[in-house]
Amino acid sequence: MSKGQLAAMKLMKAHGLSDLSEIPIELIAAGLGATVIEKPVQNADGRIVFGKKKAIITINSNIEYLGKRRFTLAHEIGHLTMHRDQFLMHNDTDATLEYFKKGNQETEANEFASELLMPEGLFIKIAQEYEFGPELLRHLADYFKTSITSVAYRYFKYGDHPICLVYSYNNIVRYWMRPDPYDHFIKDLTKLAPPEDSVATEYFKQGKIYPKSESKQEIWKSTWFELKKWENDDDFSFYEYCIITPKYNTVLSVIWEE
């Protein structure tokens, strides 16, 4: 179990909490001695500045979705909980989070936020009540009031139906994740464009965004995966659901077989 997850579980236990879906996250921050403000922020969704006794958390007022706002604030609470002693004291409200990028703090804060907003046991319980598909991811995002992107990563870790994730930015694959073990091998397209016949490419080249009712798109296994020709590996249907963020020109492709 990760440091971030353990810290979130400890915090919830100390306050007698088991499900924060109906609780304003600001109350958690206030209870830990932080003041939360909203204002436009350049090149960040959130920032934290530590004083000698208090802290100021700034959330970018340009964040459009409640789910993303809650996850951003939970992420900053993770820094507040775990990383105070790893900071220089700042009095400048324009201080950035560049310091975090030098270590593991960003990953730890994301793990903290995921556990705080989507407790492992409850997440697994709800996820197991439905068949996997875009509707399930949207249902989980609505229930926990967090971003569908964070739900997809959470499901990758705890869901009972294997999925693969591919993150692309500006029509370039930045990284991919597949379960271990898994029967299929993803083509390593890191630093290359997504496959021509992928749903991701439809967005990057045509601006295509499917409505919710059509968000589960059928593709071929060979779109994202290698075919082992020496084993007479057959091509067959997979599915791709793209979580698109036009503002940042990013696509998270969720890929699975039924």
**Per-residue pLDDT band at 232 (split at 50, 70, 90):** low
Partners of 169 in beta bridges: 172, 250
Average per-residue pLDDT for the chain: 90
Assigned domain for 136 exists: no
| H or E segment and range at residue 254 | strand 250-256
For residues 53 and 116, membership in a common domain is answered with: yes
Predicted local confidence at residue 20, as pLDDT: 94
Position 230 pLDDT exceeds 90 = no
74 and 176, same domain (yes or no): no
For residue 238, tell me if it sits in a domain: yes
- Looking at residue 85, what is its pLDDT? 74
Residues 180 and 85 both lie in one domain = no
Whether residue 63 is found in the same domain as residue 167? no
pLDDT (mean) for 6-13: 96
More confident residue, 194 or 1: 194
Question: What range defines the domain where residue 192 resides?
Answer: 163-258
Query: Residue 79 domain-assigned?
Result: yes
pLDDT above 70: residue 248? yes
> In terms of Cα–Cα distance, which of 106, 85, 107, 89 is closest to 97?
106
In a domain, 82, yes or no: yes
- Looking up residue 63, the CATH number of its domain turns out to be 1.10.10.2910
- The pLDDT, as a whole number, for residue 56 is 93
The domain total for the chain is 2
Residue 141 has pLDDT above 80, yes or no: yes
Which three-class secondary structure state does DSSP give residue 11? helix
Angle, CA 60 vertex, CA 137 and CA 79 arms, to 5°:
75
Q: Which of 121, 149, 173 is a domain's end point?
A: 121
Mean pLDDT, rounded, for 79-91: 69
Same-domain check for residues 103 and 23: yes
Q: Identify the domain boundary among 101, 121, 141.
A: 121
Q: Is pLDDT above 50 for 54?
A: yes
Cβ atoms 168, 150 nearer than 8 A: no
Query: Residue-wise over 181-199: b if at least 16 C-beta within 10 A, else e?
Result: eeebebbebeeebbbeebb
pTM of this structure? 0.88
Residue 239 sits in a domain whose CATH number is: 3.30.450
In this structure, the answer to whether residues 189 and 99 fall within a common structural domain is no
